[in-house]
């Protein structure tokens, strides 16, 4: 292989594909800690994979000799940092890669390209979805917080994003069994679309990687049987689907509320942050909510740190005079930070029993700015006593 490219463009593409490489831990071995360089048809294609996530990036190049070279991604990154952002010539030989410009020359070890996992991109003739990247990133940010962390593998569907396309909508949803975030985008908001309906589960960490790449441009999505293919400018992100079944959200969404509380969003967030230093020492990061007609009393206690309480005036008087409930403060803060409206409304699905409320609660924005899609959010309270 022999090709000439601009070093700056190569560095930018390498930074993108590196997100799919395994550079730490026991799995950081050849070829998963490597990048494949393929020179073909006046372009240089970079590719990294961890078998679940594969990222390709294309750089314009002058190709003198086609071929493939496999090198360690971190070694190439360190080498390129020592070179000027000018034209460089890359020459791949049997066991080495030579990178040089007019005044510099570097040499590094290569590996057999045949050991690199094969990846086919068998997408259809037309993308299933074409969406503006900024809109996609915004929706993902308002969804991913509800998923469990990648380290929790007890329920695979709980650390995934569920992407579903129906004839009328595209739905992004995530849940950890305690919270649910569901964002529905009408197909009329899509720049281009097919008539196909499909669904898939994708690990949340891979979706976050997609969100970082997708900003400020258009994203074309192709659904296949076992993976989703996302194309962003000169990049291609291939995410393998997770085998599993996402919970049926229709069973919990759409219930009528018995009563609701309207609260100023900023005051709500600031008060919870004040209680966070104490609440985070509780096993469940618990903050107690006591509703008393026209005010909300928030409190948290810990044996060594004592107790703290704050009062928030309610924007509207509560119909149900007095009751107590509790929440995980970090979970509630993540929900509130995803809402852009001045006020937030908590909708309660049942009348409190014996002064306690332990059923699901819907969180609804009031005149939210995100008018292009519909948000559904719910959270389960923590069990509490009077």
pLDDT, tens digit (0-9, with 9 covering 90-100), for 237-255: 999 999 999 998 877 887 7
Contact status, residue 22 vs residue 52, Cβ threshold 8 Å: no
Residue 377 vs residues 175, 208, 348, 384: alpha-carbon distances, Å: 10, 20, 12, 22
Helix or strand run (H / E) with residue 134 = helix 133-141
Q: 256-296: per-residue pLDDT in tens? A: 888 888 888 999 999 999 999 999 988 889 999 998 877 88
For residue 371, pLDDT beyond 80: no
For residue 321, pLDDT beyond 90: no
Assign 117 a pLDDT band (cuts: 50, 70, 90): very high
Q: Which position has the token pair 């409320």?
A: 357
Q: Which position has the token pair 């490489």?
A: 21
For the chain, where do the domains classified as CATH 3.10.150.10 start and end?
Answer: 2-115, 129-250, 254-379
Spatial separation of the C-alpha atoms in residues 54 and 229, rounded to whole Å: 9
CATH of 2-115, one of 3.10.150.10, 3.30.1540.10, 3.30.70.580, 3.40.50.920: 3.10.150.10
Residue range 42-52: mean pLDDT, rounded: 96
For residue 125, pLDDT beyond 80: no
In three state form, how does the secondary structure of 151-184 look?
A: CCCCCHHHHEEEEEECCCEEEEEEECCCEEEEEE
For residue 193, pLDDT beyond 70: no
Spatial separation of the C-alpha atoms in residues 140 and 214, rounded to whole Å: 11
CATH of 254-379, one of 3.10.150.10, 3.60.21.10, 3.40.718.10, 3.20.20.70: 3.10.150.10
Q: How many CB atoms lie within 10 A of CB 109?
A: 11
In this predicted model, which residue has the larger pLDDT, 18 or 189? 18
CATH of 129-250, one of 3.60.40.10, 3.30.2350.10, 3.10.150.10, 3.40.30.10: 3.10.150.10
For position 320, what pLDDT does the model report?
A: 53
For position 242, what pLDDT does the model report?
A: 95
266: preceding bond cis by omega (within 30 degrees): no
Assign 322 a pLDDT band (cuts: 50, 70, 90): confident
For position 369, what pLDDT does the model report?
A: 55
Assign residue 3 a region: left if phi > 0, alpha if psi is -120 to 50, beta otherwise? beta
Assign 356 a pLDDT band (cuts: 50, 70, 90): confident
Report the mean per-residue pLDDT for the chain: 90
For position 316, what pLDDT does the model report?
A: 67
Assign 318 a pLDDT band (cuts: 50, 70, 90): low
For residue 68, pLDDT beyond 90: yes
For residue 167, pLDDT beyond 80: yes
For position 366, what pLDDT does the model report?
A: 83
For residue 326, pLDDT beyond 90: yes
């Amino acid at each position: 292989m022999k090709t000439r490219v601009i070093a700056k463009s190569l560095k930018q593409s390498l930074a993108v594909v590196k997100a799919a490489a395994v550079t730490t831990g026991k799995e950081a071995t050849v070829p998963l800690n490597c990048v494949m360089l393929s020179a073909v048809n006046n372009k240089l294609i970079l590719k990294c994979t961890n078998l679940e996530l594969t990222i390709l990036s294309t750089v314009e190049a002058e190709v003198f000799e086609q071929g493939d070279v496999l090198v360690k991604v971190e070694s190439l990154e360190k080498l390129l940092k020592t070179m000027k952002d000018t034209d460089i010539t890359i020459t791949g030989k049997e066991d080495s890669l030579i990178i040089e410009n007019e005044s510099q020359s570097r040499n590094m070890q290569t590996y057999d390209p045949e050991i690199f996992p094969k990846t086919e991109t068998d997408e259809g003739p037309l993308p299933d979805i074409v969406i503006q990247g900024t809109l996609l990133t915004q929706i993902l940010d308002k969804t991913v917080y509800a998923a469990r962390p990648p380290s929790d593998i007890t329920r695979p569907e709980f650390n995934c994003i569920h992407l579903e396309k129906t004839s009328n909508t595209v739905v992004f949803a995530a849940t950890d069994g305690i919270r649910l975030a569901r964002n529905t985008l009408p197909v009329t908001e899509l720049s281009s679309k097919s008539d196909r309906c499909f669904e898939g589960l994708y690990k949340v960490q891979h979706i976050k990687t997609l969100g970082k790449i997708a900003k400020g441009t258009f994203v074309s999505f192709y659904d296949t049987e076992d993976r989703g293919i996302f194309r962003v400018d000169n990049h291609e992100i291939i995410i393998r689907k997770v085998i599993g079944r996402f919970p049926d959200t229709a069973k919990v969404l759409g219930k009528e509320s018995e009563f609701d509380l309207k609260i100023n969003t900023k005051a709500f967030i600031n008060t919870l942050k004040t209680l966070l230093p104490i609440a985070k020492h509780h096993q469940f990061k618990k903050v107690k909510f006591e509703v008393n007609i026209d005010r909300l009393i928030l409190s948290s206690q810990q044996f060594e740190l004592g107790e703290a309480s704050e009062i928030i005036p309610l924007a509207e008087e509560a119909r149900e005079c007095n009751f107590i409930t509790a929440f995980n403060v970090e979970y509630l803060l993540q929900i509130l930070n995803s809402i852009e409206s001045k006020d937030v409304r908590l909708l309660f699905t049942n009348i409190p029993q014996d002064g306690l409320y332990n059923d699901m609660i819907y969180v609804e924005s009031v005149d939210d700015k995100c008018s292009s899609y519909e948000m559904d959010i719910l959270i389960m309270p923590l069990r509490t006593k009077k």
